[in-house]
Structure 1
Amino acid sequence: MKKPAATSFVPDRTQENLLLFSVFFVAAPHLLNLGWAIVLYFSLMAAWRFASGYRPALLPGRLLLFLLTLSGAALVYVDYHRFYGREAGSSLFLVGLGLKLMEMRNRRDVYLVVYLAFFVALTQYLFSQSIALAVYTLAAVALLISVLIGLNAGPVLSLKTQFRMAASLVAQAMPIMVVLFIFFPRIAGPLWKLPDDPSSAKTGLSDIIEPGSVSRLALSREPAFRADFEGPLPLPAERYWRGPVFWHTDGRRWTLPPERGRNTVQAPAFSGPAYRYTITLEPHQKRWVFALDLPKVFPENLAQTPEYLLLTPQNVGERRQYTISSYPNYRTGELSPAEREQGLQLPDRPSARMLRLVERWRRSSSDPKDIVNNALLHFREEPFVYTLNPPVIRDKPVDIFLFETRKGFCEHYATAFVYLMRVAGIPARVVTGYQGGQWNPVGKFLEVRQADAHAWTEVWLSEQGWTRVDPTAAVAPHRIEQGIDLDRQMADHEVSFSPVGRALADAAFDLHDWYDQARLIWASIDHAWNQRVLSYNPENQKRFWEALGIVDWRGLITWLTALLILCGVLVGLWLRPRRKPKAADPAMAAYNRFLKKMAKNGLVKQTGEGPRDFALRAASERPEAKEAIGAITTLFLRIRYGRQADPRDIDQLRRRVRAFRV
């Protein structure tokens, strides 16, 4: 049996332009995500299709379309060297959407273009799950639905009616979407597993330390994580968020040790009050969880290294939440022979001037505490400068920094201090993480940005175990006490500190800068979105169900069914036919006021009596008002029953009724 030919697509100019606009609107966010060549290719396809709407001869034939397909695939491969992964896969979807526009010749092709555009909109969530993108996607979906409405209705519906119907359909779907989001069982992890994608790594701390590895983050506003405290905030000097710990150096670069299991961790002795908080961690493609120094209580699915760093089972590729308790006062256990060897490792023999400096401290006192204090005093009293733009040192970076340039960022001071301690025979290591954080008085949380990235040191003292020492605090104490003024730092490309420090933690929300207010409010909204929506994982869903008394599938199905029925009832009430009230007739309203005035003087219009008959009777009984009664009645009849009423007659009727006296 011969298949019927596809229905010929006779394009309506307005509808086709709406389709092209909708498709381009859907693809626009990928301007920030994909390579410029891919975006330019799609834009050229869309522009070509727009031009061919006015000159159909411009549409490509089969051979040219085949060549365009090959060129699009080649662009994807040249940009990403593969056809899978986040960027490459999204690029293939976008290229396919552009090519489908070029071969759109019948109704089926139009449907395919719209459905492919839905998939392109979905790929944008691989790059961002922000509130702005969610709102933008809803608008894109409404546009595509309006295209489908117009495609089926034809020219009968105006664009305004199409948009209104599409918006109504999206609004009706949203309550059902919310119910399914809350109650439909969630699976652990994403819906699909993306292959490793090197270009998808987020900005953040590195697994090596070398000059510039921390300072490169100093101009980044990107959030690293946010912390909600159940009680009081820690003091600024206690806000050290522990990250990777470095032992080994080749003289220029510091590297991480191999990861070891949690069973090798020596439990510290904790004392004093604890801080309990929930950390919302941004994706950073590493296993590290940054906890306040030093964590004691943490979720069971986290492991702890011998250096007290918390680790997730897999790389953090999506936003996650962890509730942790940390103690700022602690004493670690004894030092093992392997740790002592690692803590004293030096890549080569120290320089003569470095040995002389350390020997001078030793002659002053052989106590490790005194040597540490002498080293801090050296950094404080000598002309060291804390800067984002230190001179580049090619050879012997520690020696040149200590005795010649004396300009550096936190990683310079931390690595140089550890080097000096090891020369003095004191086990030491470099700790990286974040220090500080900006208090948000609107959302009541602490936001730690990438610009708060920091490096400090730990030395092992026999009475205390591993003890935090921050040489940056000796050179630039404002860095620890006041925190970073990121606005000035970005403007000047130099380290700047906040003049108000962290007093905002205890102050009311009384900022005079509207820009700062707006930024804090938006950060609070974004944090709530992250906590309530993006972090709604299986564990949070289970806790929510338990709060509602849902303990088994029967309870879940009952809740889900009841809420879906409720949504259906509400939508039905919204869509029920409504009797539109008749619009008020201004002529009748004015005439009724005239009748009331007449009734007050004993002249009442009888049932069935027409306006003209009533006017004749009223004029005979009130001859003194005959002219006014006749003028009002004539105007009223002309407005109500005339073929073409003059809009000025309404104003004249109102004036005559107002002025009428009997």
Structure 2
Amino acid sequence: MSNNRDLLPRESLLWIFAAQFVALLPQLAQLPLWIAFAWAFAVYWRLEVFRGRRDLPGRPLKFLVILLTVAGLALSYQRWFALEPMVALLALSFTLKNLELVSRRDAFVSLLLAYFVAATLFVREQSIPYALYGLISVLVITAALAAQLGSFSARPRRALGLSVRLLAQATPLMLLLFVVMPRLGPLWNVPQDTSAGRTGVSDSMAPGDFTRLSKSAEPALRIAFDGPIPPPEQRYWRGLVYSEFDGRTWRQGFGVDPRNGGQVYWKSGERPLPQVGPRYRYRVIQEASRSPWLFALARPASDSAGVGETLDDRLVKRTPLYSRFAYDVRSWPRDPQAVPIPLSSAERRRNLQLPADGNERTRAWVERLRRKGLGAEAISSQLLARYHREFTYTLSPPALGRDSVDAFLFDSQKGFCEHFAGSYVFTMRAAGVPARVVAGYQGGEWVSGEKYLLVREYDAHAWAEIWLDGRGWQRVDPTAAVSPERVRNGLESAAGEEFMRDSLLPVHRIDALVKLRLQWDMINYRWYQTVVSFDSEKQRDTLQRLLGDISPLRMALFFAAPVAVVLLAMLLWTRLGSRGRRRPAVERLYGVFCRRMARAGIARRAGEAPRDYAERISAAKPHLAEFAERVTQTFERAAYGGEASALKELRYLLRWRLLLLPRVPINKNKLAGQ
């Protein structure tokens, strides 16, 4: 049973609820809606308990709430051992804590949980806005902790001021630990819910998929080169290969997707590389996509941890990208090998696969060309020439029927990149030529301020590859036949008025906003390079620049010297500040009272509020109760109310003879005459 003096006052409760709200707010977009209602209801119930209108729930009600919570989590999430249900469970734990929030100990437990909930914000995103919001969350939660010291500390200005001072004092140590502490990997790995919404190129392609991506200007890749930069027409960032077609949708298929039998080389050197050095070296920073596909130029190789190479010239990651990821790549877009490795019979069958029926007009058109004796390259040239003469590149293609290839080639003749790539590969397969669809990004915007290539979601693209005996896989971009400016100058140049037509704010048409957007992206790029990607390798390089040879003694001195300087500076600041500042008269008089009570055997505790101190004096020394109550009331009137008469009364009360005779009535006339 808690002592009444330990029960939480109204100000403490409000601070706790404010800290919980700030910690939960960014999570509400990811958590089920019922969790937000559960938190609001728990806060309402606790406030009703404070007003005396309800009682705290008993064990049967608590048990029922726990059962409902478990049932809600089971219905909301398909699997339990994942990030989202773990965060939801953590949020619910301090939501339910409100139903038994009674003492200061309960308040401290709730606020410590709030720190953990606020920290989960950075599991998904480490951008600058999230970092600033995380700082605000820590500031509010720390202020809520400071507010638990007493009613005087719960005043917003004082609580926030104390929080700012504490965080400012901790900043030097935080920066030191950021540089010095070893970069360890996670002790465990909690997977995220892959059923949640994804961004970027998907593992399948149907008419309209890339049209949807063309409406997003979100960054997808940032690529910094160590050496030459490929020209715009060579910037094909391949990520997926579609080999299976069901008549409408292209998929990776068995033996291509690493999750379904596709072979991946995870160790450097497992896959033979050309003897001649790579043509391009670069570092890719890829945004979170919730998929394992990485993007690179053709013929890539990477020594980055957790990155593997596939047989069809792609890079994949062992685990899906739930956060921004950086990896180094070497590429040989023009393989100097004179004779490619022959196509196996299984690969040939896979890349000739077509449905048994459907799209009969396309099949018949190809058959007529074959009867004329045209080979693979001639049929390809015929189709590309037809694209150039008769077709229109558009971001608003009409809907296609069941036989989507026939409808596109002979009826609508209007489409986006997936229409051209899909119909081209179908036609070449019908002609007996192994072909496949490749998906990724094409192009990119050069950011001269930081020297990197910015690839956005609207740069998503699909093209084709055909197998030519003696030459291997050759890239063919059917979109370039109908709209060569798409490859040379990007989507905005090719789409014209259709580009980002549905956006609320036409940022791409206002030069000032375009420059501002690029400046913001450069700031984000520098933030990631400096802070987020500060791994063990960068830490070692930084320490070597600062210390030269790294040794335990130098590390100890490097760690201890700044700590000693900061502590000495704080000590000097405290001493000099206390000498230079004279406390207000009301505080000095109250200090006299505290010292006299200490001599009487009741010392004031650190951070103890005047009202709490007076109650403790009354309980320990009943004969001093009236005197302590008078002094406390007068002090509060003088300190918080600003009453000049209260200051005079306090000075009169603290005369030594009144301490000996605390029950002597005060002579108001004498007081007024002083």
TM-score with structure 1 length normalisation?
0.76
Structure 2 residue 535 is matched with structure 1 residue 527: no
Gaps of 5+ in 2: 583-643, 646-674
**What amino acid maps onto 2:430 in structure 1?**
V
Contact 1:281 1:319 in 2 (8 A): yes
Alpha-carbon distance in 1 for matches of 2:459, 2:10: 54
Whether 1:397 and 2:404 are equivalent positions in the alignment is yes
1:489-535 deviations in Å (ceiling 9; x for gaps) = 675359xx9999xxxxxxxxxxx633333322221121122222222
Q: Distance in 2 between matches of 1:377 and 1:444?
A: 38
Q: Is the 8 A contact 2:219 2:287 kept in 1?
A: yes
Q: Which residue of 2 aligns with 1:320?
A: 325
CA 1:97 to 1:320, structure 2 compared with 1: closer, same or farther past 3 Å? Answer: same
Change (3 A) 1:182 1:75: same
1:88-119 C-alpha deviation (Å, 9 max, x unpaired)? 22222222222212321112111122112112
Secondary structure in structure 2 of the residue aligned to 1:380: helix
- 1:284 counterpart SS class: coil
Amino acid corresponding to residue 223 of structure 1 in structure 2: P
Structure 1 segment 103-122 matched on structure 2, within 5 A: 103-122=100-119
Gaps of 5+ in 1: 501-511, 583-642, 645-662
Question: Conserved in 1, the CA contact under 8 Å of 2:217 and 2:457?
Answer: yes
State which drifts further: 106-115 or 44-53: 44-53
Could you tell me which of 126, 141, 147 is aligned with 1:150? 147
Asked if residue 224 in structure 1 is aligned to residue 220 in structure 2, the reply is: yes
- 2:283 pairs with 1:274: no
**1:71-220 alignment, distance < 5 Å:** 71-81=68-78, 83-155=80-152, 158-188=155-185, 190-200=186-196, 202-220=198-216
Q: Deviations over 1:179-215 (max 9, x none)?
A: 2122211123x35311452345642222223333433
Contact persistence 1:30–1:39 (CA under 8 A): no
**Structure 1 residues 347-370: Cα deviation after superposition (integer angstroms, max 9, x where no partner):** 326755324433554577735333
Aligned to 1:659: none
CA distance in 1, matches of 2:323, 2:294: 13
> Which position in structure 2 is the counterpart of 1:616?
none
For 1:529, give the aligned amino acid.
Answer: W
Aligned to 1:259: 262
* Contact persistence 2:215–2:500 (CA under 8 A): no
Q: Is the 8 A contact 1:388 1:493 kept in 2?
A: no
Pairing 1:598-609 to 2, within 5 Å after superposition? none
Match of 1:12 in 2: 9
Contact 1:288 1:310 in 2 (8 A): yes
5 Å matches for 1:496-535? 513-535=511-533
TM-score relative to the length of structure 2? 0.75
Amino acid in structure 2 at the alignment position of 1:564: V
Equivalent residue in structure 2 for 1:446, among 448, 453, 456? 453
* Identity across the alignment (%): 33
1:373 aligns with 2:390: no
Alignment of 1:9-88 (within 5 A): 9-53=6-50, 55-62=51-58, 63-81=60-78, 83-88=80-85
> Counterparts of 1:412 and 1:437 in 2: how far apart (Å)?
22
Q: Is the 8 A contact 2:360 2:406 kept in 1?
A: no
- Give the Cα separation in 2 of the matches to 1:570 and 1:230: 44
Q: Secondary structure at the match of 2:439?
A: strand
Amino acid at match of 2:208: G
How many Å separate the matches in 1 of 2:453 and 2:565? 39
Q: What does 1:224-623 align with in structure 2 at a 5 Å threshold?
A: 224-231=220-227, 233-256=229-252, 257=256, 258-262=261-265, 267=273, 274-295=279-300, 299=304, 302-330=307-335, 333-338=340-345, 339-348=347-356, 353-359=361-367, 361-362=369-370, 366-393=374-401, 395-462=402-469, 464-485=471-492, 491-493=500-502, 513-548=511-546, 549-572=548-571, 574-578=573-577, 579-580=579-580
Distance in structure 2 (CA, Å) of the matches to 1:464 and 1:552: 55
Which protein shows a greater Rg?
Answer: 1
Amino acid paired to 2:458: A
Give 1:235 shift: 2.0
Q: Which amino acid aligns with 1:225?
A: L
| Contact map agreement 1:242 1:294 (CA 8 A) in 2 | no
2:603 alignment partner in structure 1 = none
Shift in Å at residue 377 of structure 1? 0.7
Q: 1:573 to 1:171 in 2, by over 3 A?
A: same
Structure 2 distance, partners of 1:488, 1:161, is: 56
Query: Residue 531 of structure 2 aligns to which amino acid in structure 1?
Result: V
- The CA distance in 2 between the partners of 1:153 and 1:552, in whole Å, is 48
Residue 275 of structure 1 and its aligned partner are, at CA, apart by: 3.0
Change (3 A) 1:221 1:57: same
User: For residue 610 of structure 1, what is the aligned residue in structure 2?
Assistant: none
8 Å contact from structure 2 (residues 467, 474) kept in 1: yes
Note the aligned Cα RMSD (angstroms): 3.4
Provide the rounded CA distance (Å) in 2 between the counterparts of 1:568 and 1:110.
Answer: 30
The CA deviation string for residues 139-177 of structure 1, in whole angstroms up to 9 with x for no partner, is 222222222222224426743222112101101112211
